[in-house]
Amino acid sequence: MATRVQHALEQLKTTGVRITPQRHAILNYLMESMGHPTADEIYRALEPQFPSMSVATVYNNLKMFLEAGMVRELTYGDNSSRFDANVTDHYHVICDQCGKIEDFSYPSLKSVELQAASSTGFEVHGHRLEVYGVCKSCRDQ
Ligand SMILES: [Zn+2]
Ligand SMILES: [Zn+2]
């Protein structure tokens, strides 16, 4: 996992972005947690390590990672964006009880996009699929 972060940081450097310890920590947290945290969760997790860091700093860095295509933003209409360091094609399963989001892979549903385009005349840009349920740790309680 450390090599993935290292690789991502090397990529950033080539775009002229300065690698600060905070940047490194935020990216590392995102890649290691894989739990699709909110900016606030990242902030709270890293606060002990960087007491002078603000939530705004976390937001600004996330925005920069987004622009560099290193993370994805997931919006759920309740203005708590979540961030995903897995930028490969994958789907999400969401726990109704604790809100945890986990990745799973499934062949991309391209045929759904094609059907949507042909039956509506839309120029289709993508799709989102979410599966809901109760996660293992909630069920074990
Ligand atoms: Zn759960
Ligand atoms: Zn994901």
pLDDT digit string, tens, across residues 8-37: 888 888 877 888 899 999 999 998 887 899
- Sketch out the chain's domains with CATH numbers: 2-84 (1.10.10.10), 91-140 (3.30.1490.190)
pLDDT digit string, tens, across residues 92-122: 999 999 888 999 998 878 899 999 999 999 9
Averaged pLDDT for residues 30-54: 92
44 Cα–ligand 1 center, Å: 20
DSSP structure string for the chain: -HHHHHHHHHHHHHTT----HHHHHHHHHHHHH-S--BHHHHHHHHTTT-TT--HHHHHHHHHHHHHTTSSEEE--SSS--EEES--SS-EEEEETTT--EEEE-----HHHHHHHHHHH---------EEEE--HHHHH-
Task: Consult the annotation and say whether 24 binds a ligand.
Answer: no
Task: Consult the annotation and say whether 125 binds a ligand.
Answer: no
